Amino acid sequence: MSRRIVNVLIRALITLLMVMILNFVLFRIVPGDPGQLLLSGARGGATQEQITGLRQRWGLDRPLFPDQVTDYVSATFRGDLGYSFKFRGERVGDLLLKRLPATIGLVGLAQLVAIVCGVMLGLYVGWRRGSAIDKIATGLSLALYSTPAFWLGMVLVVVFSTSLGWLPGYGISSPGLANVGPLGWLIERIRHLLLPALTMAFALIGQYVVVARAAMSDVVTEDYMITARAKGLTSRQMLMRHAFRNAMLPVATLVTLNLGYVVAGAITVESVFAWPGIGSLTVEALNARDYPVLQGIFLLLGVSIIAANLIADLTYGLLDPRVRQ
């Protein structure tokens, strides 16, 4: 395996380790007795015995280092992420798995729309830089990039749900929907998906337009484009055979990196739309100070982001021959 790949892998591992360290440390610097925290919602209060018993069960009375650390690391690698405070008795891992599909569906769809539309638009205005449509597209992209996604969502709800009444403003399905058949079920799902997906797509499209445009306009000034023109290629041939491939290099990297942020990207938007995914779980856990769940989510985020960065690093060599060894 080449030196470069080994380096990249080591870096990823170190970053992962730092994620885990942060998780470990954070939970333990929170003031107050974790035992008490765990039982804070119990009816009638908890007795000292119950608190002590819980601490024993959770291994919180053992020395911090090395016992708690090794327990933590081994448990994590086994997939045991602990139990939720708020959702009594539920394993964090199960909770995450239950909520993951909704998030992936939402953000995945939004990313797809944003990538396809954003990249095409960006490449086009990069090719025709300075034109009227370039100015409009760039202005809009910058504005969308600067807009908080969740606020955009709220605005869309006011417009399309409250005022126009076309689409539902929250949730993944409406209550009281019995016996509508598979088509009706599908339509309902789509209706609920539309506003949050649109919100996220708008929030994400800006960066694709900006990056694709910058990439294309850099390529356009390169010498090999003059060579292509000298060879008698048509504008179209120059674009497709020479410009496109080179402009896509930074774009492909961006797309790969953003895959990692799929899980992280929707926290506030899911909150606005009460979308039952990881994002809203994060907010719920935050409000309930449900640390095991927060840790689990952070670990999940960390792993997916690191994995995406890793893939981007490794595959860049495939696209750009100058980087291959």
Partner 1 sequence: MIKSSEALAPLLDVDSLSVDYISKGVPLRAIEQVSFSLAAGEAVALVGESGSGKTTTAMSIAGLLPPTAKVSGGDVSYRGKRLPIDDDEAMRPHRWSEISVVFQGAMNALNPVHRVLKQIAEPCILKLGMSQSEATARARELLELVGIPADRGSAFPHELSGGMRQRVMIAMALACRPSIIVGDEPTTALDVITQAQILKLLGKLRSELNLGLILITHDLSVVAESCDRAMIMYAGRIVEDGLVDDIFNEPKHPYTKLLIESIPNPAKGKQILRPITGDPPTLHNRPSGCAFRSRCPSAIQVCATEVPRLDLSVQGRVACHLHRYSTQVQRVGSDA
Partner 2 sequence: MTDSATEVHGRRRLHATRTFLLQFIEKRGAQLGLLALAFFIVMAAMPNRLVGPLQTAITATGIPLVPPSREQFLGTDEIGRDVLNLVVHGARISLTIALIATVISLIVGTTVGILAGYYRGRVDVWLMRLTDFFFIVPPFVLALVIAPVFVEVVGRGGEILGFRPSLFVIILVIGLTSWGFVARIVRSQTLSLRERTFVDRARVVGSNDLFIMVQHILPNLVPQIAANGALVVANAIYVETALSFLCLGDPLQPSWGTMLYLAQHAGAASAGAWWYLGAPGACVLIVSLSFVLIGNALDDTANPRRRVIP
Query: How far, in Å, are 11, 20, 226 from residue 7 at the CA level?
Result: 6, 20, 38
The site map against partner 1 for 238-277 (x = CB under 8 A) is ---xx--xx--x----------------------------
Q: Which is nearer to partner 2, 109 or 303 (CB)?
A: 303
Answer with the entry of partner 1, partner 2, none that 178 interacts with (C-beta below 5 to 8 A by kind).
none
We find the least distance from the C-beta atom of residue 49 to partner 2, in angstroms, to be 26
Q: Which of 157, 249, 255 is nearest to 204 (CA)?
A: 255
- Angle, helices 69-78 vs 3-29, to 10°: value is 120
> Interface with partner 2 by CB under 8 A: which range of 22-30, 62-70, 89-97, 243-251?
22-30
Taking residue 16's Cβ as centre, other Cβ atoms within 10 Å add up to 17
**Omega within 30 of 0 (cis) for the link into 175:** no
Rounded to whole angstroms, the Cα distance separating 235 from 275 reads: 46
Q: Can residue 25 be called a binding residue for partner 1 (CB under 8 A)?
A: no
Q: Which is nearer to partner 2, 151 or 316 (CB)?
A: 151
Q: Can residue 104 be called a binding residue for partner 2 (CB under 8 A)?
A: no
Q: Which is nearer to partner 1, 60 or 249 (CB)?
A: 249
Phi, psi at 80, each rounded to 5°: -90, 105
We find the least distance from the C-beta atom of residue 161 to partner 2, in angstroms, to be 7
Look up residue 248 and give its two tokens: 């896509």
- For residue 91, list its beta bridge partners: 83
**Omega within 30 of 0 (cis) for the link into 63:** no
Q: Considering only residues 147 through 186, tell me which ones interact with partner 2, judged by CB under 8 A.
A: 147-148, 150-151, 154-155, 157-158, 161-163, 169
Cα angle 210, 212, 218 (rounded to 5 degrees) comes to: 100
- Which of 71, 188, 284, 320 is close enough to bind partner 1 by CB under 8 A? 320
Q: Can residue 224 be called a binding residue for partner 1 (CB under 8 A)?
A: yes
Residue numbers at the binding site for partner 1 (CB under 8 A)? 222-224, 226-234, 237, 241-242, 245-246, 249, 319-322
